[in-house]
Amino acid sequence: MSAAWVCPYAPGVAGNLATEDLVFLAYKMGMGTGVDFEKLQGVVKQAEEFIEHSAGGRIRAWWESHRQLA
């Protein structure tokens, strides 16, 4: 198995970091990412439809609350 596929164990860590959470963090810190956040939402939605369960990161609640405001 390639080292690129190995995920080291860390006590207390819930899992990998969702891309959308990292992109949002960078945005809130004023860092440019070049990522279209609305398109990223679409990709997450497609992935969830494909795997047939929720895959969104912690930012999901923020997305949902802002959709209701629109």
48-3-11 Cα angle (round to 5)? 70
**What is the distance between the alpha carbons of residues 59 and 18, in angstroms, rounded to a whole number?**
9
DSSP single-letter state for residue 4: G
pLDDT at site 27 = 86
Predicted pLDDT of residue 15: 66
Domain boundaries along the sequence of the chain: 15-69
At 38 the pLDDT is: 83
Residue-wise pLDDT tens for the chain (70 aa)? 444 444 556 656 666 778 888 888 888 899 988 999 889 888 888 988 998 888 768 887 777 787 654 4
pLDDT score for 12? 60
Residues 6+ apart with CB under 8 A from 37: 20, 23, 24, 27
In the DSSP assignment, the letter for residue 58 is: T
The C-alpha atoms of residue 16 and residue 62 are separated, in whole angstroms, by 19
